[in-house]
Amino acid sequence: MEKHQGKSVFAGVAIGKISFYIKDKAEVVKREADDQQLEIELFKNAKKQAKEQLGQLYEKALSEVGMDNARIFQAHSMILNDEEYDTFIIDAIKEQNVHAEFAVSMAGEHFAKIFSSMEDDYFKERAADIKDVSGRVQRILGGRKETSKTSEPAIIVAEDLTPSETIQMDKSKVLAFVTMLGSANSHTAILSKTMNIPALVGVEIKKEWDGKVAIVDGITGDFYIEPDENTLEYFRRKKQEETKKRELYNELKGKENITLSGKQIELCANIGNVADLEAVVENDAGGIGLFRSEFLYLGKNDYPTEEEQFEAYKKAAETMAGKPVIIRTLDIGADKQIDYFQMEKEDNPAMGYRAIRICLKEKDIFKTQLRAILRAGAYGNVSIMYPMIISDLEIKEIKELVETVKGELLKEKIPFGNVAQGIMIETPAAAIISDLLAKEVDFFSIGTNDLTQYTLAIDRQNNKLDSFYDAHHESILRLIKMVVNNGHKAGIKVGICGELAADLSLTETFLKMGVDELSVSPAFILPIRKVIREIL
């Protein structure tokens, strides 16, 4: 028996044979183009065929995993329509005199690298979308076809899986996913949550496992190859227990987040795209505590229009049907770099020109987003949240700008909502003066990821410092308590939307502190509700 460790992205137990997913990875060799114009035409024709294939995949996904999960293939079509992506390929053919398939390969690597360099896992995983789209066009140019190998129910093991590969599998034949690459935001993880099946990432895989019996423990992250009879029997019982637990979670839908002694707390969801709305509803979240608006700006070659933003925010507001939707304004810079913003390279970008600092310098960009959010407020319970605030002067400047925007909308007779305004507490500075900041806003949301980074002076992107990074450090907990106390003294709500919000070992601590809201990934809503309802 072999035992390997991975990272669980969806809990549960699966027992079955391994089916190793083999990709068609033909090496693209660089060679000169005999006829540049012909290569450009070949690329355009391949792009057209790719769009037709994506249309078919969209229809398949729509019927099998729902509208919001199917939208990924619409997003892939948008990549093919992206002017910057198109121009890169055509310029490579013309200027470097390479054939079309190699030019597409270059484009895939170039744009995937941009997303892969970002710290945020959600956006980092969008690199897979670029590679998926580019791979599709390359296969068409090379005359190759996609393959799928799932003839009987099996544990699918692969280096990584793209959206196209996952959606083309027969879902009734998939017991679990195990991949070497990917994260909690990969499409493998997203699909596993939709299908309610276990998934592990970060496992060092071996091709010789193909066909062997295995066990996936999506709770601990353990992966057993050719388990002995005692281990099999143990996990058969554990699987039965997990089935009962899942049924119990479903019974918690519609129930209150209330302790045995009667203390209540709100449970909301973090999302990074309108495609996540289905999971928010499915997991019975009390609203959206963090809507990352960056997805509207990333992967584009120009600023999103007011209408594009308005439609996305309106969709969230209408889907939530009166439940709160907190939209965080643009948070780029640091790990999230966007070419068309033309920002200068910084030695320490995490402490540099980012988030609200960009918005207050580039007021036209900021005003466009504020207009879109305010307009969406007419369709639901929408609030605005500003990131990386460190002073009350920033808040006052923002509020003046919001009033200006409201005045413009009134003049133009465009309806808008009366939205609440809050800030993220992400730095020690903001936490320490939270008594002053609380007088200027309607709510606080504590971003524990950055708060921990800045308080401990540890760069989260530096793997050498992992052993020093302690999210439970007493200084972090004291700052959180300080912010909660100061917020309540001023009569405003205080929530947590960072990774610590989903840490079940701290749920009771946060309740005792008086935290009003926890905002987490949709899949964590019901497990946290269960813990809350068992606390005295």
Q: What is the mean pLDDT of each run of 10 residues along the chain (536 residues)?
A: 88 90 70 86 92 82 62 78 88 90 90 77 72 88 67 86 75 87 66 74 90 92 94 92 80 92 95 83 94 78 88 95 95 61 65 82 93 97 96 96 97 96 96 97 95 87 73 94 98 93 94 96 90 93
Tokens representing residue 497 in the block? 């939307």
In the chain, the amino acid numbered 380 is: G
Q: Which position has the token pair 């505590």?
A: 289
pLDDT of residue 224: 96
CA distances to 47, 53, 210 from 146, in Å: 16, 11, 20
Tokens representing residue 480 in the block? 């959180």
pLDDT of residue 387: 94
**Nearest by Cα to 69 from 220, 160, 189:** 189
For the chain, what are the domain ranges?
2-23+147-229, 36-142, 251-534
**Cβ-contact 21, 158 below 8 angstroms:** yes
Rounded-to-integer distance, Cα 527 and Cα 212, Å: 32
pLDDT of residue 300: 65
CA distances to 190, 265, 440, 477, 530 from 516, in Å: 28, 5, 19, 15, 17
**Nearest by Cα to 197 from 46, 331, 8:** 8
pTM of the model: 0.65
Residue 115: Cβ-neighbour burial (10 angstroms; 0-12, 13-18, 19+)? buried
Three-class SS of 481-500: HHHHHHHHHCCCEEEECCHH
Residue 510: Cβ-neighbour burial (10 angstroms; 0-12, 13-18, 19+)? buried
Q: Which position has the token pair 């294939």?
A: 53
Partner residues linked to 225 by β-bridges: 2, 214
Start-to-end CA distance of the chain, whole Å, equals: 42
Catalytic residue annotation: 187, 497
Rounded-to-integer distance, Cα 525 and Cα 265, Å: 12
Rounded-to-integer distance, Cα 207 and Cα 412, Å: 63
In the chain, the amino acid numbered 52 is: E
Partner residues linked to 155 by β-bridges: 18, 176
Rounded-to-integer distance, Cα 530 and Cα 525, Å: 9
CA distances to 118, 169, 301, 362 from 342, in Å: 16, 41, 11, 12
* CB within 8 Å of 63: residues ≥ 6 apart: none
Rounded-to-integer distance, Cα 16 and Cα 26, Å: 30
pLDDT of residue 169: 77
pLDDT of residue 535: 94
Report residue 234: phi and psi, to 5°.
-60, -45
Q: Considering only the C-alpha atoms of the chain, give the largest distance between any 2 of them, rounded to a whole number of Å.
A: 77
The number of helix segments (H) and strand segments (E) in the chain equals: 20, 16
In CATH terms, the superfamily for domain 2-23+147-229 is Phosphohistidine domain (3.50.30.10)
pLDDT of residue 139: 87
The radius of gyration of the chain's CA atoms, rounded to the nearest angstrom, is: 24
pLDDT of residue 71: 66
Q: Which position has the token pair 């066909």?
A: 211
In the 8-state DSSP scheme, what is residue 505? G
pLDDT of residue 173: 85
pLDDT of residue 242: 77
- Topology of the domain covering 251-534: TIM Barrel (3.20.20)
As a dihedral over the C-alpha atoms of residue 122, residue 450, residue 372, residue 521, rounded to 10 degrees, the angle is 40
CATH number of 36-142: 1.10.274.10
Tokens representing residue 276 in the block? 């996540």
